[in-house]
Structure 1
């Protein structure tokens, strides 16, 4: 009896492992074809399988024979039609990418988004083009998004530059980013009423500080007068942020897995203590 029980549990464990592996492979294959023309082809295959099932259930012999013939030659057709996707899958398998954790893909997507923003900031900073970019986090910013022009577009350097070109309709407002999308441009932000803010700071900087006071959003500013890049978060502002520090801070704050302890997070501001006081 003990042997039988041991054999049963061993079988169950093996079946669980088997199903888990197969499920994971199917999941990775779905990620691989997502967003490609293969999705539509897969839908067509599902329809054919459904037709075959109906012919089998209701005994439609002619239709069933036709579907059997189609499936016989369809295997070869699938390999021909899905050749690009299959080749890409084999290449990723050879590079060991197909079995990487989803977090790696998320990190890469985060890197790409931040890179697009940094490139835009550098371009505008060198040309002294004023800009105001807000990253939404836990606190929803829908009311501020509705105050601007909805875009819901992909994040790109070129789009940022076009939005903030002087004397254009969206130039004076803020761009709000939610996840991997630019939700809106030309948005109105609340101005800070802090009386201790330096008189040197203009409307963009006051709006950035105001947004950081009423939400947990991160706001990056490019000064139109000096080209200086500043960052506002937690009701504080850092002026003259260098590229390396800005990239590090954006990764730390926008990626929950990389967040540091609050004690360490505040140290980012200690080198520029008193910036908002002049």
Structure 2
């Protein structure tokens, strides 16, 4: 009986050990993803595979060279990839290595909101027309393909430059996905709602149109008045102030996990459509 319990405990320790190692490796890969260290890992795998095959087939000279590379390569890695190692240690010191990725995602969303707000204020003040659509659950790949791929981190400078008059990509919509600016100069479907105010231009009709077929939040800056509007679920809200727009963006980007039954529109502004 005691032997069975000891064996069960041994197997339990092994399983926990494997799970912990897997978790640590996963977190390390998450840290180095998108850096030069990814190429380093590929190189290490190739060298280890070459060393194993050299020993297996009895290639003594090749095996000797691989052993030298592995022995002295550690020092070279420390020197060459010092920035990546420092970055990983900094994240470990901030408790991010074993923490949940949600905090990092929320920080990225906050930066995205700040960038959008800064760009909207700049364009509204100078009456620069803009059309920004934020993809939600309903995919917008069909509309993304009509534009020019950008796939860049969102910044106020990038958004503003895209919509500057006479810029190559200013005509059309910008589509955002997961805190990334995916494409610009995209064509959105125009709404055929006959009750839309005649004073609204193509941008507003496109914003309403895409909100009728997707769950995207679309923000529009009027070129004539500089007023900021937003559409969602086929509804257009006009002349929104900065605080209202920020609340809308926070609800979409920071509180997306909340129940969809919660009413989205709880703020002021003129409502059309």
Q: TM-score range by the shorter chain?
A: 0.7 to 0.9
TM-score (norm 2): 0.88
Counterpart of 1:236 in structure 2 is: 235
| Superposition deviation, residue 63 in structure 1 | 2.4
Counterpart of 1:84 in structure 2 is: 83
Counterpart of 1:246 in structure 2 is: 245
Contact 1:252 1:258 in 2 (8 A): no
Q: 1:167 to 1:47 in 2, by over 3 A?
A: closer
TM-score (norm 1): 0.86
Counterpart of 1:142 in structure 2 is: 141
> Aligned partners of 1:67 and 1:147: how far apart in 2?
50
> Aligned partners of 2:47 and 2:149: how far apart in 1?
41
Any stretches of 5+ residues in structure 2 without a counterpart? none
| Superposition deviation, residue 200 in structure 1 | 3.3
Counterpart of 2:48 in structure 1 is: 49
Counterpart of 1:276 in structure 2 is: 272
Contact 1:137 1:254 in 2 (8 A): no
Q: Note if 1:265 corresponds to 2:263.
A: yes
**Going by fraction, where is helix more abundant, 1 or 2?**
1
1:124-171 Cα deviation digits (max 9, x unpaired): 011111111111223232333333334344322222212211234433
1:241-260 Cα deviation digits (max 9, x unpaired): 23333233223224565434
Any stretches of 5+ residues in structure 1 without a counterpart? none
Q: 1:65 to 1:180 in 2, by over 3 A?
A: same
> Aligned partners of 2:264 and 2:41: how far apart in 1?
51
Q: Secondary structure at the match of 2:190?
A: coil
1:187-238 Cα deviation digits (max 9, x unpaired): 3322222233233322221221111112212110011222221110011122
Counterpart of 1:114 in structure 2 is: 113
> Aligned partners of 2:170 and 2:191: how far apart in 1?
20
Contact 1:137 1:178 in 2 (8 A): yes
Q: Note if 1:158 corresponds to 2:157.
A: yes
1:13-69 Cα deviation digits (max 9, x unpaired): 222222222112111211222222222222222222111101110112232233333
Q: 1:54 to 1:170 in 2, by over 3 A?
A: closer
Of 147-156 and 211-220, the range deviating more from structure 2: 147-156
Q: Secondary structure at the match of 1:172?
A: coil
> Aligned partners of 2:94 and 2:142: how far apart in 1?
45
Q: 1:70 to 1:175 in 2, by over 3 A?
A: closer
Of 126-135 and 38-47, the range deviating more from structure 2: 38-47
Q: 1:259 to 1:248 in 2, by over 3 A?
A: farther
Q: Note if 1:123 corresponds to 2:156.
A: no
Q: Secondary structure at the match of 1:268?
A: coil
Q: 1:67 to 1:191 in 2, by over 3 A?
A: closer
Q: 1:247 to 1:11 in 2, by over 3 A?
A: farther
> Aligned partners of 1:84 and 1:68: how far apart in 2?
26
Aligned length: 273
Counterpart of 2:132 in structure 1 is: 133
> Aligned partners of 1:24 and 1:173: how far apart in 2?
44
Counterpart of 2:216 in structure 1 is: 217
